[in-house]
Structure 1
Amino acid sequence: MLVALIIACEVGFWVLLAGGLALRYLLRMPRLGAAVLLCEPLLELVLLVASFMDLKNGGEPSWRHGLAALYLGYTVGYGHYTVKWLDGHAAHRLAGGPKPPGAKYGRERAVHEWKLWARTLAGAAVALALLQAGVWYVGDAADTGALRDWQLVALRVLGIQVVVAATYSLWPRKAPAGAERASGEEGILAGKDR
């Protein structure tokens, strides 16, 4: 049942996100769209309560509880960022808003990757705390090895993200020569228009 709830929360997240953005930009109801988007954290609250209720009712700690904890951690670390990123793209595509800026090259990209690492750190900290709370909650009454294994998974993900961020700092990606020339020409043309 817990796996079905995790899947339902994930599907619900995307349905609420699509519905909120559609209300904001297609139907021109920004307040109602924002209200729908604000309902998304309720899904995570339901999942959190269901996970602990399952443990309270004698459920054996398993990979399902670990997956729920990582899902909740991801939502804390990346949920707002994902909604904001998609909202910017929806505003650009559906409402004629400006194209969202993107960090593709050099120091700007390295800073972006370190910010993603900070989000991963926040998500991993939440997941680790929830898993540790589960270990303490069931105590010696059950085998908590599965929860400990998922703590290691959270730490591995954090380690992978730090390696990715470090590579962008040590070996920054350079803009192609054509991209630099095109942006320079755009600047010249923009100056002539003034």
Structure 2
Amino acid sequence: MNFVAWMIIASEIGFWIVIVLGLVTRYVLKRNKLGLLLLALTPVIDLILLLATSVDLYRGATATTMHALAAVYIGVSIAYGKSIIQWTDERFRYYVTREGAKPIQRFGMDYAIHYLKSWGRHVLAYLIGAGLLTGMVYLIHNPSRTEALIGALKVWTLALGIDFVISISNFIWPKRKKA
């Protein structure tokens, strides 16, 4: 595995460590402001990954799928970060501290609308990640070194389209409660 792959793994581990530390600090240690500060550090992890990827490419590395995955990771982290933290916060409060309301399960039109909003976040992640990918292609300005980036962008565009079809299908065949 190359340097960028390890940085992506470290970023994901760091993301969850910061979230868990933030929640433990906030709810178990009752240090609300410090817990919120820890949770607010998650974008710093994205910045570190962006810098590591940029330096690797600047030093002349040929862009790989891992470089593309770093851009995807950053886009997804920025677009979904707040909702992931909120989702984790609700479950931590309910299942760990036994405080707060039980997390709701969505069905029917409520689920379809929620999924469509999530697809909107996917679009935002795509715009951020595609912007990073396009920026890398433009800055490197060497097609033989950026093939993997263009390929990843094509695959992600297809995945975004498939996600849209799934999103619309939820309105046609709504998710039902299991009996």
**1:189 alignment counterpart:** none
Q: Is the 8 A contact 2:25 2:32 kept in 1?
A: yes
Q: Does 1:148 align with 2:142?
A: no
Q: Is the 8 A contact 1:44 1:72 kept in 2?
A: yes
Q: Is the 8 A contact 1:25 1:95 kept in 2?
A: no
What is the CA RMSD across the aligned residues, in angstroms? 1.5
- Give the distance between the partners of 1:102 and 1:52, measured in 2 at CA: 41
The structure 2 residue matched to 1:99, chosen from 89, 97, 102, is 102
- Give the distance between the partners of 1:30 and 1:95, measured in 2 at CA: 17
Aligned residue for 2:145, secondary structure, equals coil
For 2:99, the aligned partner's letter is G
Q: Is the 8 A contact 2:43 2:78 kept in 1?
A: no
Q: Is the 8 A contact 1:61 1:142 kept in 2?
A: no
Q: Is the 8 A contact 1:127 1:154 kept in 2?
A: no
Tell me the matched-pair count.
176
Deviation per CA, 1:91-143: give whole Å up to 9, x if none.
2221511123332x211111011011001111111111110001001003743
Q: Select the structure of larger CA radius of gyration.
A: 1
Deviation per CA, 1:59-104: give whole Å up to 9, x if none.
111111111011111101211110011111112221511123332x
Deviates more, 1:140-149 or 1:20-29: 140-149
Q: Is the 8 A contact 1:20 1:32 kept in 2?
A: yes
The structure 2 residue matched to 1:67, chosen from 69, 90, 93, is 69
Runs of 4+ in structure 1 over 4 Å off = none
For 2:140, the aligned partner's letter is V
- Give the distance between the partners of 1:70 and 1:118, measured in 2 at CA: 16
The percent of aligned pairs where both chains have the same amino acid is: 31
The structure 2 residue matched to 1:36, chosen from 38, 50, 53, is 38
Aligned residue for 1:97, secondary structure, equals coil
What does 1:61-140 correspond to in 2, within 5 Å?
61-93=63-95, 94-103=97-106, 105-140=107-142
TM-score computed with the length of structure 1 as normaliser: 0.85
